[in-house]
Amino acid sequence: MSTDRVTSHGASAQALQVRVRGRVQGVGYRDACVRRAHILGIRGWVCNRVDGSVELLLQGAPDVLAQMLAWLRDGVRYARVDSVETAALEPAGLQGFERLPTR
């Protein structure tokens, strides 16, 4: 089964679950993720995890998701990213991009 879906722009949409580890809490990382996702037109959410990591669910065109993944590694000035782990998911009918409470 494919994890692709056609977006309203005709591009194939993909969904990724992402876990970012390092110094990514208390440095504005989640808010910066929300801003970048809005700029890129990515749908999904971001939240802090109790283990100190940040988790994201990203949905969008593959090229846009690749841009977001590259940005996650070094896009926030005071953060230190040690690793970015991804897993493909089945795209869902997500709308917008939001910051969720810590889980």
Q: Does 48 participate in catalysis according to the annotation?
A: yes
The answer as to whether 100 is a domain residue is no
Is 33 part of any domain? yes
**Domain count along the chain:** 1
Q: Which domain holds residue 34?
A: 5-86
pTM higher than 0.85, yes or no?
yes
- CA R_g for the chain: 13
Q: Within 13 A of 68's CA, how many CA atoms are on the CB side?
A: 34
Per annotation, catalytic residue among 19, 21, 30, 80: 30
Q: State the Cα–Cα distance between residues 15 and 91, nearest whole angstrom.
A: 5
Asked about 43 being catalytic, the answer comes back as no
Q: Which residue is catalytic, options 48, 49, 77, 80?
A: 48
Please answer whether residues 81 and 72 qualify as being in contact, where contact means their C-beta atoms are separated by less than 8 angstroms: yes
Q: Within a domain: residue 97? A: no
pLDDT of 27-74, one tens digit each?
A: 999 999 999 999 999 999 999 999 999 999 999 999 999 999 999 999
